[in-house]
Amino acid sequence: MFTVQRHEPELIIPDKPTPREVKTLSDIDSQKSLRMHVSGIFFYHTDPKMGNQNPAIVIKEALAKVLVFYYPFAGRLKEDEMGKLMVDCTSEGVLFIEAEADVTLKQLGDVIHPPFTYTEKFLYDVPGSSGVFDSPLLLIQVTRLLCGGFIVVVRHNHTMSDAVGLIQFMIALGEMIKGASKPTMLPVWQRGVLSARDPPRVTCTHHEYDDQPATVDEIMGKILLSSDMIQQSFFFGPQEISAIRRFVPTHFQNRSTFEVLTACLWRCRTIALQPNPEQEMRMTCPVNARKFKSFIPPGYYGNAIASLVAISSARDLCNKPLGYALELIINAKSNVTEEYIRSSADLIVIKGRPSFSFFEGSYFISDVTRLGFDELDLGWGKPVYGGPINVCTQFSSVYTRSNNQKGESGIAVTLSFRSVEMDRFVKELNSMLV
């Protein structure tokens, strides 16, 4: 195992004066489910055109410049008496850590993809930095490797940005590294577009906020009785997706890869778990509201997300063909309209900013394959791998862009099961891929 030597954490402030003000977040931003820190990781090769420049110093200098435009990130989060969030733009700064590791990129694996067992080495949780309130909203650690390559980990407070917003910020950072005086896409605040109406009115059904029969801790305690949980990554390239499409009805052959793959995994996962046939199984995934360009302006970097929820009994999901699960997902997706998103913001306020519903049969899927994680150029070219760190729990998976050992591009998905459930999942999946 390798070691990492870290320099003292620094607070990086905007390199020019920025407005001293309080900016209100949206009601979508303010929901309890987003009050946490999430992280992304990027692996880079050395690049001769960058010479012997220290990537940590280059990134740190550019960070101060980009914060002039994204100055709310340098502030601190507050909460009003109604539970709505706001940023006190104090220019206190974001955390930055420079580090060196005695390992090469090659030694980390022939193919770099989740799950990662060593991320805590590349992301130091500075004491007092991971709180939701009065803590830095952004932390970046740049770790140089023996081969000249480096790893960048970015941790941010989810209430400030979704994945699209974070990548927008990181692209702007890359542009500053390359000498730009301002970002191509200027940041837009305007959080009022995703705040509740006055008066708030719920006009749609929102299963993502259904009342829960038990607490999350009770559900987790019931399921975590076994200690033999294992994680495994699965690769889905063109060949695998084509194999799965053989099970898709003719009238659904034009559906997206995301829809087809999600239907497959939801069904295979349910078969592997062998739940009570009457148990309700839920598949939930976020939808990017930016597709509704009529009210989400370009450059908006807040949380512009709503959730679709597909629901089935375990019996139907296991016994009916793949087209059944696929149709449920298609129908749930069609429910997410502009009015659905506005209704979500209203419900969040009416219900006191709830967390997402969590049931024993819940499965949360997030697709970041088209958001640009794998394209992020910080001056040294595209990353070997770029994507979220937190890609899997027992109840969730993230689709990331990855290559297999043949160099083929595809989607990597990590799942977590008890060993006997993993065996059943692999068997069921392989029966579709043969």
The phi, psi pair for 418, rounded to 5°, reads: -65, 160
* Helix locations, 50-199, DSSP H: 55-66, 119-122, 163-177
- 171 forms beta bridges with none
The set of catalytic residues is 158, 377
Q: What is the DSSP letter of 370?
A: T
- Residue 21 CA, chain-centre distance (Å), reads 29
Q: Decide: helix, strand or coil at residue 349.
A: helix
Q: Decide: helix, strand or coil at residue 83.
A: coil
CB 151, CB 376: distance < 8 Å: no
d(CA 68, CA 74): 9
Q: What is the DSSP letter of 320?
A: S
CB 5, CB 129: distance < 8 Å: no
CB 263, CB 330: distance < 8 Å: no
Helix (H) or strand (E) holding 156: strand 150-157
Q: Decide: helix, strand or coil at residue 49.
A: helix
Could you tell me whether strands 150-157 and 138-144 are parallel, antiparallel, or unpaired per DSSP bridges?
A: antiparallel
CB 21, CB 82: distance < 8 Å: no
The radius of gyration of the chain's CA atoms, rounded to the nearest angstrom, is: 22
* CB-based contacts of 277, cutoff 8 Å, min separation 6: 313, 314, 315, 318
What tokens does 110 get? 């022939």
The CA angle 150-379-147, to the nearest 5 degrees, is 25
